[in-house]
Structure 1
Amino acid sequence: MDTGTDLLIGIIIVVVMLLVGLGVGLAVGRRSSASRGGDGKGRDRRVDLAGGAQDLTPMTSADEDSGQETVVPPKPRVAIIVNPSKPDAAGLEATAGAVCRQEGWDAPIMFETEVEDPGCTMARQALEQQVDLVVAAGGDGTVRAVAEVLAGTGVPMGVVPMGTGNLLARNLDIVLGRPEWALRIALWGEDTAVDVAHAQIEPGGKDHAFMVMAGLGFDAAVMADTDSDLKSKVGWLAYLEAGSRKLVGTRTKVRVTVDGGEPFTEKIRSVVAGNCGKLQGGITLLPEAELDDGILDVIVIAPKNAVQWIGVAASVLGRNKRKGLHTEIHRCREIIIESEEEIEVQLDGDAVGSSTYLAMQVEEHALTMRTATRQQKRAIRAEGWPIPVG
């Protein structure tokens, strides 16, 4: 294999890992396991480890001195919305029941997502039951759907990360690979107000929430063009195959309007807006992005050819904050991108089709997330959470 081929392969791997890394965890497991969807839309069941039905009526007890009954306040209730296609989903119901019992909560109400409904309907049903907490158990697609419904309601949201990427959980420092610990963080962690980003893919069109990143161009095209059969066989490596076909391409002329200012034109390969900045593998695409600052960080990527992608990779790995080689970052509350031709769009790793228009805004502190307390973080670092489940 000659040096030029080695260089091109190296570029492909770096670029796809940087720009499509978010799509790996956001899309792989969810789409490839469609046959394992829920057996009924919004199916709701209450876990009772003792085997009986749960009575939600406030309990009463007799006062020995006065002979009067006193009302015992009901235990707090949690609804858990789980993607059943995830490997850890099968044991979550029992784990959640045990954790809730140990932490003094009522038995959890379980909902399962479906292929055609990643969690929006289930989140609405959870709110109708006036629960104290809603937990999204799945990948970032499940998290995005639940967050879209909970935004602005004041009802706290927890996350049990079960995807491959789990990018929102990574940005919030929620423990990965330990569902029982993530559940305890959700039940008695601290409330953190975070921003919710919104996107419209046509003027005046439907509003779509996203929590991690959204954009158009190269990254969205790779996600849309990845072969599903290959993906089911080799997982995230299928994105490298798609990326190798998309890496060498032409730039698209777009008009960009930032915070209502004077529009400017740019030839781009990709534009990605982030509500937060971390990807997998310790890579930070947007070094100044914070989940609670009321600001969108938007990177414009504009290499002319395959060799210039090396500069893009160097800029990202070097954490250039504003201007890098063939990259530029804008910080804003709203951005509108209008293209001369239709190009692919993605929201949190989901390809949503092609468009000539993408508008994105940020809604500051719209969602309350449960995050780990300092005490919980210490226990996680020490792997010393003392209470086993079961």
Structure 2
Amino acid sequence: MPTDAPSGTVTETSSGVRRAALVINPTKQSTDEVRQAVERVSAEDGWEAPLVIETTKDDPGSGQARQALDAGVDLVIAAGGDGTVRCVAEELVGTDTLMALVPLGTGNLLARNVDIAVDDPTAAVEAAFRGTERSIDVVHLTLDHAQETQVFLVMAGLGYDAAIMSDTREDLKDRVGWLAYVDAGIRNLPGEPAHASISIDGAEPFECRLRSVMGGNCGKIMGGLEIFPGAKIDDGLMDLMTIAPKGKLGWLAVLGKLFARGKGRDPSLQYYQCLTAEVSLREPLAVQLDGDPLGEAKHLLFEVKPKSLRLRMPLGYKDPAIVSDPLP
């Protein structure tokens, strides 16, 4: 429940006093530290007392973000895991309201890509108020011709990678963090390729057999590995990757090309850049968005919305492999 003004309340932002909303997952560690830091920095910088809204099991961030928008805040801080960040972003896309994040999850994928501290919540809060602003791309994904789209900020996948996310043991994540994904990855290595039809930017579809197809907005994941080498979060393009290992040693070729940053001609790993992509399967496979399992689907439609989300990130030089302009 909110600890401040109810939904629909108009804050003093209308008279020029800025106000932040903190959308926070209460089940995560360091929540008290984050609340205190947001209250402290708000006071130090002359902002109104923040609106604090907790997520719930039934609503991991979308309703809370809408409540923050209704309250007229200037900044919405998503404090939680990748699911909380994605749900908040989904409501802020296309608005003028600034978003920031305090990573409290296991993957913290967007934070890793934009240099937000994943192990220092106080530093992340200070960056949320005092960092630089960027406008980043957001990718909209439609599953099985649904009427509504969903968004992702880092990557979405169909097949092997999504099976990893849905099969990762929560108890192991609590003990060893992101290494739990490695365990799930090894257990899901065996499997048969699926027949897929893929169209890039509306071109004639091509047929292939694959274990996974992934769309990426930016490239870094846990352990410093770049799944989409050189993918920029603000270039108006999405990177599409297909994984099709051949034979028992095929996964070694996939890993080799990943560590070589996509260089080489091995067909086990192929990259494309596009504004839109359409993937059709004969049989449904598991789907994930920014690490969240979403069940199964047979048809995916990706569409990039360039620079449609205002995001606050730390001051300082940015990795030019992540953003188009490396200066703050």
Q: TM-score, normalised by structure 1?
A: 0.76
Give the structure 1 partner of residue 276 of structure 2: 334
Q: Does 1:127 align with 2:86?
A: no
Distance 1:125 1:267, change over 3 A: same
Identical amino acids, percent of aligned pairs: 41
Alpha-carbon shift at residue 326 of structure 1 (Å): 0.7
Alpha-carbon shift at residue 322 of structure 1 (Å): 7.7
Q: Assess if the C-alpha contact under 8 Å between 2:178 and 2:222 holds in 1.
A: no
Give the structure 1 partner of residue 210 of structure 2: 268
Deviations, residues 73-124 of structure 1 (Å, cap 9, x unaligned): 5531000101111111132222211121112211111011111211000000
Q: TM-score, normalised by structure 2?
A: 0.89
Q: Does 1:97 align with 2:97?
A: no
Structure 1: state its 5+ residue gaps.
Answer: 1-39, 47-54, 59-72, 378-390
Distance 1:182 1:324, change over 3 A: same
User: Equivalents in 2 of 1:376, 1:103: separation in Å?
Assistant: 25
Distance 1:273 1:99, change over 3 A: same
Alignment RMSD (CA, Å): 2.4
The match for 1:277 among 205, 219, 232 is 219
Distance 1:200 1:161, change over 3 A: same
Give the structure 1 partner of residue 96 of structure 2: 154
Q: Does 1:313 align with 2:241?
A: no
Alpha-carbon shift at residue 234 of structure 1 (Å): 5.5
What amino acid does structure 1 have at the position aligned with 2:275?
R
What amino acid does structure 1 have at the position aligned with 2:305?
E
Q: Assess if the C-alpha contact under 8 Å between 2:33 and 2:121 holds in 1.
A: no
Structure 2: state its 5+ residue gaps.
Answer: 320-328
SS in 1 for 2:307: strand
The range that moved more, 228-237 or 243-252, is 228-237
The range that moved more, 201-210 or 293-302, is 201-210
Deviations, residues 278-323 of structure 1 (Å, cap 9, x unaligned): 1122211111211000100011000133311000000000102584
Distance 1:237 1:259, change over 3 A: same
Give the structure 1 partner of residue 238 of structure 2: 296
The match for 2:193 among 251, 258, 277 is 251
Q: Does 1:353 align with 2:295?
A: yes
User: Equivalents in 2 of 1:232, 1:95: separation in Å?
Assistant: 25
Q: Does 1:45 align with 2:8?
A: no
What amino acid does structure 2 have at the position aligned with 1:79?
A
Give the structure 2 partner of residue 18 of structure 1: none
What amino acid does structure 2 have at the position aligned with 1:215?
G
SS in 2 for 1:303: coil
Deviations, residues 187-240 of structure 1 (Å, cap 9, x unaligned): 132220100111111114420010010010111112223344555566545444
Q: Assess if the C-alpha contact under 8 Å between 2:11 and 2:71 holds in 1.
A: no
User: Equivalents in 2 of 1:318, 1:290: separation in Å?
Assistant: 18
Count of aligned residue pairs for this structure pair: 315
SS in 2 for 1:81: strand
The match for 1:86 among 28, 39, 52 is 28
Deviations, residues 131-157 of structure 1 (Å, cap 9, x unaligned): 111111111111101110000011111
Alpha-carbon shift at residue 271 of structure 1 (Å): 0.6
User: Equivalents in 2 of 1:349, 1:90: separation in Å?
Assistant: 25
Q: Assess if the C-alpha contact under 8 Å between 1:256 and 1:336 holds in 2.
A: yes
Alpha-carbon shift at residue 376 of structure 1 (Å): 12
Deviations, residues 37-61 of structure 1 (Å, cap 9, x unaligned): xxx3xx2426xxxxxxxx9669xxx
Q: Assess if the C-alpha contact under 8 Å between 1:214 and 1:346 holds in 2.
A: yes
Deviations, residues 233-278 of structure 1 (Å, cap 9, x unaligned): 6654544443333212110000001100010000000111101011
The match for 2:55 among 101, 110, 113 is 113
SS in 1 for 2:30: helix
The range that moved more, 174-183 or 349-358, is 174-183
Q: Does 1:168 align with 2:110?
A: yes
Distance 1:346 1:76, change over 3 A: same
Q: Does 1:364 align with 2:323?
A: no
User: Equivalents in 1 of 2:212, 2:99: separation in Å?
Assistant: 31
Larger Rg: 1
Distance 1:228 1:96, change over 3 A: closer
The range that moved more, 176-185 or 107-116, is 176-185
SS in 2 for 1:293: coil
Give the structure 1 partner of residue 164 of structure 2: 222
SS in 2 for 1:92: helix
The match for 1:144 among 86, 105, 113 is 86
Distance 1:97 1:375, change over 3 A: farther
Q: Assess if the C-alpha contact under 8 Å between 2:155 and 2:217 holds in 1.
A: yes
Q: Does 1:178 align with 2:120?
A: yes
User: Equivalents in 2 of 1:274, 1:85: separation in Å?
Assistant: 28
Q: Assess if the C-alpha contact under 8 Å between 1:288 and 1:321 holds in 2.
A: no
